[in-house]
Chains A and B, each alone.
Chain A
């Protein structure tokens, strides 16, 4: 089952904060986060593991709530370079199923 991301899109001004949510109808053991800029490949940001361990990107944080089967990505003091589409991925066996993506646009 594909995870559900919200919101579908968000527009920010530089310096503002944003939260992107990812939820699943199935039990979560790990959640991946990726960012894709227009015309480019998705780039790995971080992975959240069951038990709360966090790995990956230092400037963007994330949380993982196993009970709610949900992960949230926090972008604080956004920069122009944060613009792109953010995908969460949840594991189904040994494969990753991606959400539909959240389009983030940061304006100056």
Chain B
């Protein structure tokens, strides 16, 4: 299995631009999580899906952030418009059931200038 696949690995964009991060979970995993990691705030859960349905988006910072999961093998996290404070590493993770270990993707390092 190729694991959780995220793209791009690095993204540098100008303030105000739209950014789309992509994630392909492990086949058969029914939970998908989006986390953001910064030095100041650590690993924060943004949103998670169960069977492609968004369950809890209480961690999404504001309306500029949106996430979708159109099918079991693909999810996107979109920031529009982006701001410098959105600079962070964004991880996607998947799991089989909510109670078991998560497999994280390699992450997308986002820099907004």
Which residues of A pack against B, CB within 8 Å? 2, 30, 32, 34, 40-44, 46-47, 56, 87, 91, 93-101
Contact = CB atoms under 8 A, between A and B. Distances in A.
B56 A95 contact: yes
Contacts of A43: 104
A34 to B, nearest CB: 8
Contacts of B91: 41-42
Contacts of B104: 41-43
Contacts of B101: 32, 44, 46-47, 56
B43 A94 contact: no
Contacts of B56: 93-95
A91 B107 CA distance: 22
Contact of A95 (B42, B45, B106): B45
> What range describes how many residues of B lie at the interface?
20 to 34
A30 B99 contact: yes
Closest 4 pairs between A and B when the two form their complex, measured CB to CB: A44-B101, A41-B104, A94-B98, A98-B43
Nearest to A44: B101
A55 to B, nearest CB: 8
B102 interface: yes
B43 A87 contact: yes
Contact of B107 (A41, A46, A47, A96): A41
A42 B33 CA distance: 13
B25 interface: no
A94 B55 CA distance: 9
A51 to B, nearest CB: 13
A47 B100 contact: yes
Interface centre among A2, A40, A56, A94 (most CB of B within 10 A): A94
A41 B89 CA distance: 10
Given A47-B100, A91-B99, A96-B45, 11 more contacts: A32-B101, A41-B91, A41-B104, A41-B106, A42-B91, A42-B102, A43-B104, A47-B101, A94-B50, A96-B33, A101-B42
